[in-house]
């Protein structure tokens, strides 16, 4: 007997502190001044290049970002530090990442009208976890008094959709009745605040969704998952090389190549057609045309990417109601972006409305869900 899997709850949590483009650029330009002055003789001798300046206007035009939330603002704008200051916690304290995961989980559970005791499995799926083991998911499971099991997944910016794919499959297989998928994107420690082309990209946030069988769903806004679809294609154009082997390689463990870096233009050129073709194929498997989609909850990496993908699918630009943009407030939040767009822009849909949740990111990795309001 087959059962219908649904998304029955969603939660979006963000830190209280934020950084505007103006604040970020002022800090970056002050760092550039100090660097160029300190290295003036080397620059004049042609040994190194002068660092370029930036502007808030450049950041917004290049990305659509105006501001971003940050878990800990202290230190991130200090030109003598250029990274957030996060206090370490003892092993017997709740970890930073588990803490923000729990906050989003509580919101998703409330949205689904459930308690922690109703959940069978926890998947923490995100771009980075702050440690290798024990799994953040098991720590969250303990904090929420959830019986069953939990595990972590890393699929860069497609981690949220891939996590929901695993939940869908577990429910279809009868291995769980309700699954909590959490995306605690604590990415600010991996940002190179001295790099003009990437220092503005990311923000911190945590999202969560509850997937269960339709027959048990009690949420106020429930969506049938018609199907899931995934694609991966290897690319070096987005990388983050920090890892446990670094200590054995006799290199700078915090060098620029160990932090997030990308070949942005190549990513734009290659991912946009790949994502559009993926979505079109997924919809076609249900005999649904792009014109039949009420809402597009796309990955929030860059406003120009979203505009182009929608234009490829619809033959025109989508308006903000059709394809919500949250980049201006949240920035790129790795895998959480499409879930934020969904969480903040779904309650107005009516029974029968179809929507697409889609992510695309490093790997390359693309994940999508076609969903329909019950």
Residues annotated as part of the active site: 157
The HSE-up count of residue 349 (CA atoms within 13 Å, CB side) is: 27
Residue 322 structure tokens:
């059709």
CA end-to-end distance (rounded Å), the chain: 20
Q: Which two tokens stand for residue 196?
A: 């003009």
C-alpha triplet 277, 281, 286: angle, nearest 5°: 155
Nearest alpha carbon to residue 262 among 334, 308, 198? 198
* Number of other CB atoms surrounding residue 162 within 10 Å: 25
Report whether 347 contacts 198 (CB < 8 A): no
Sheet of 205-213: strands edge to edge? 149-154, 121-126, 178-185, 205-213, 5-13, 223-232, 365-373, 354-361, 295-298
Structural Rg of the chain based on CA atoms:
21
């Amino acid at each position: 007997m087959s059962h219908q899997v649904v998304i029955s709850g969603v939660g979006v949590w963000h830190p209280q502190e934020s950084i505007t483009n103006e604040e970020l650029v002022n800090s970056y330009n002050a760092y550039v001044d100090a660097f160029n002055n300190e290295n003036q003789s080397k620059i004049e001798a042609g040994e190194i290049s002068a660092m370029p300046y930036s502007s808030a206007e450049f950041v917004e035009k290049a990305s659509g970002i105006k501001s971003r939330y940050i878990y800990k603002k202290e230190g991130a704008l200090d030109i003598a530090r250029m990274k957030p200051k996060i206090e370490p916690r003892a092993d017997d304290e709740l970890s930073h990442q588990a803490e923000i995961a729990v906050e989003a989980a509580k919101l998703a559970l409330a949205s689904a009208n459930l308690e922690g005791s109703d959940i069978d499995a926890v998947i923490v799926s995100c771009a980075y976890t702050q440690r290798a083991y024990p799994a953040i998911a098991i720590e969250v499971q303990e904090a929420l008094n959830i019986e069953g099991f939990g595990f972590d997944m890393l699929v860069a910016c497609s981690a949220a959709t891939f996590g929901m794919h695993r939940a869908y499959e577990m429910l279809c297989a009868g291995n769980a009745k309700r699954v909590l998928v959490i995306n605690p994107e604590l990415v600010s420690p991996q940002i190179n605040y001295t790099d003009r082309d990437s220092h503005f990209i990311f923000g911190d946030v945590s999202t969560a969704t509850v997937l269960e069988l339709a027959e048990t769903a009690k949420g106020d806004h429930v969506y049938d998952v018609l199907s899931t679809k995934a694609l991966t294609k290897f690319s070096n154009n987005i990388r983050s090389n920090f890892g446990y082997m670094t200590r054995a390689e006799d290199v700078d463990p915090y060098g620029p190549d160990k932090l997030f870096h990308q070949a942005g233009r190549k990513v734009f050129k290659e991912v946009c057609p790949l994502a559009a073709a993926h979505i079109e194929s997924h919809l076609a498997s249900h005999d649904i045309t792009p014109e039949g989609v009420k809402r597009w909850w796309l990955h929030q990496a860059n406003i120009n990417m979203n505009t182009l993908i929608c234009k490829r699918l619809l033959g025109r630009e989508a308006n903000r109601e059709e394809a919500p943009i949250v980049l201006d407030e949240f920035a790129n939040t790795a895998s959480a972006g499409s879930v934020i767009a969904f969480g903040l822009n779904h309650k107005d849909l009516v029974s029968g409305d179809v929507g697409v949740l889609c992510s695309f990111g490093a790997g390359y990795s693309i994940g999508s869900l076609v969903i329909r309001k019950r």
